């Protein structure tokens, strides 16, 4: 049993954002760390994942796949954690695990949500390329997009945790891959780091025309996680029978009034009908497999591929739990390249 009292820093939702989150929407608290009861473990957060879906859960009405965060509750999030104290038969102190402890130093678990990571060399990858973002890319691209050799795949938010993996998986399938990202540095990474065939800067005043030039044979698969002006530019370029996996719409997450602005629905529905487009949304948690067997098999495959240099996995690391709110705000503003993680503790 631990003899020294532990202090748990945690970041809670102070108030619901009105549009783009601000630092004032979060509050850092310090409380005593909880003690595990029989059948529980006490976890120490090492790495915290930052993901766009967190913004949705900050609204009073959630998106349907998870309940909204209550005012005063800890912000949710996946973590790589170390077992500090165990009263559970399957876990020992020192074990490295994938958990959902949220934005705090310490958390309790009954073990049901934990995945053992063994001696994983880069454990933070369990939150990115070898974790939820990676399997999101795999499921959306291969089960809905289904690219064939020689087809053109376009990826929105292509330097993000999901988009970078989508592009690499599509290249392995023999497709021609075009990435969309914001700024010259990001478009350079798409070509030089991730091996995309072409990259288009969404901030270019002639973005729609640049995208058209990059896909002379049209678009067969568009991996959608953006919405907004990017989707507007993509729609007229979709080929007959195109497939559009939808895993997000980050351009609208900070919308304060969903009904404001131009109504894009008629153009979208006309394209879906006239070009016989298959557009399908998915929640990756539905695809983890019984007992998370599929997720764990994917994790082993990606760890091996990354170690062999077959898959490139960039991380945007933020040092310190207290900087998590700023990290999420920057993520929603598109300031990161690769998977955004917060380094909370070293051991």
Q: pLDDT for 184-227, tens place per residue?
A: 999 999 999 999 999 999 999 999 999 999 999 999 999 999 98
Calculate the alpha carbon distances from 182 to 102, 164, 179 in Å. Answer: 29, 14, 10
- CA end-to-end span of the chain, whole Å? 18
Percent of the chain with pLDDT over 70: 94
More confident residue, 27 or 2: 27
Four-way CATH pick for 132-284: 3.40.50.720, 3.40.50.300, 3.40.50.1100, 2.60.40.730 = 3.40.50.720
- Do 7-128+313-343 and 132-284 share a fold? no
Residues 110-120 have a mean pLDDT of: 93
In whole angstroms, what is the distance from residue 299 CA to residue 312 CA? 14
CB 80 within 8 A of CB 98: yes
Domain ranges of the chain: 7-128+313-343, 132-284
**285: its two tokens:** 């948690």
- Domain boundaries 7-128+313-343, corresponding CATH code: 3.90.180.10
Q: What are phi and psi of 145, to 5 degrees?
A: -70, -45
pTM of the model: 0.91
Chain-centre distance for alpha carbon 136: 8
pLDDT of residue 62: 55
């Amino acid at each position: 049993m631990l003899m020294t009292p532990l202090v748990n820093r945690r970041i809670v939702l102070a108030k619901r954002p009105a549009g783009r989150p601000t630092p004032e929407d979060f509050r850092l608290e310090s409380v005593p760390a909880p003690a595990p009861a029989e059948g529980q473990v006490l976890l120490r957060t090492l790495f915290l994942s930052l993901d766009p879906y967190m913004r949705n859960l900050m609204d009073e009405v959630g998106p349907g796949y998870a309940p909204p965060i209550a005012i005063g509750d800890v912000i949710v999030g996946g973590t790589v954690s170390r077992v500090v104290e165990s009263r559970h038969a399957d876990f020992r102190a020192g074990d490295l695990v994938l958990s959902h402890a949220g934005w705090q130093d310490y958390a309790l678990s009954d073990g049901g949500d934990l995945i053992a990571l063994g001696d994983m060399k880069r454990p933070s990858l369990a939150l990115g390329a070898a974790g939820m973002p990676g399997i999101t890319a795999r499921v959306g691209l291969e089960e809905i997009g289904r690219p064939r050799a020689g087809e053109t795949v376009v990826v929105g938010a292509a330097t993000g945790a999901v988009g970078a993996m989508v592009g690499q998986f599509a290249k392995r399938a023999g497709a021609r891959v075009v990435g969309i990202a914001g700024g010259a540095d990001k478009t350079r990474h798409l070509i030089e780091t991730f091996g995309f065939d072409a990259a288009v800067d969404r901030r270019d005043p002639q973005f729609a025309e640049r995208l058209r030039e990059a896909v002379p044979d049209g678009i067969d698969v568009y991996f959608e996680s953006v919405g907004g002006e990017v989707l507007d530019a993509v729609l007229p370029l979709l080929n007959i029978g195109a497939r559009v996996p939808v895993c997000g719409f980050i351009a609208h997450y900070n919308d304060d009034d969903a009904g404001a602005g131009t109504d894009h629905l008629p153009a979208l529905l006309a394209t879906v009908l006239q070009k016989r487009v298959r557009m399908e949304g998915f929640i990756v948690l539905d695809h983890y497999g019984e007992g998370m067997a599929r997720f764990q098999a994917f994790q082993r495959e990606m760890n091996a591929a990354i170690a062999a240099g077959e898959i490139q996995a960039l991380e945007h690391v933020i040092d310190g739990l207290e900087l998590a709110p700023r990290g999420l705000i920057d993520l929603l503003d598109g300031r990161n390249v690769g998977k955004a993680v917060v380094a909370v503790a070293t051991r």
